[in-house]
Amino acid sequence: MSRRLTRAVIGSGITLSLVGWSAGQVGKVTLDAIRPNMQAASVASHQVAIPKFSVHLSIEVRP
C-alpha cells in the first residue's frame, strides 16, 4: 500500500471511531435525560430497573 493510501485508511478509521464514540455519547446523554421519567414509571409498575447497554465499534486495518 502506498503511504498516502495508508494514511487515508488510518485517518478514515480514526474518524469513524470518533464519530461512533460521539454518537454513543449523544445517545448516553439523551437516555440519561429521559431515563428518570422512564425509570420512575418502570420501577413503580414493575419494580425493576432499566438495564444499561453499550455499543462498541472496532476497526482493524492491516497492511
Label residue 31 by pLDDT band (50, 70, 90). confident
pLDDT 10s digits, 8-26: 888 888 888 888 888 888 8
The string of DSSP codes covering the chain is --HHHHHHHHHHHHHHHHHHHHHHHHHHHHHHHHHHHHHHHHHHHHS-PPPP-----------
Domain boundaries, the chain: 20-52
pLDDT at 48: 54
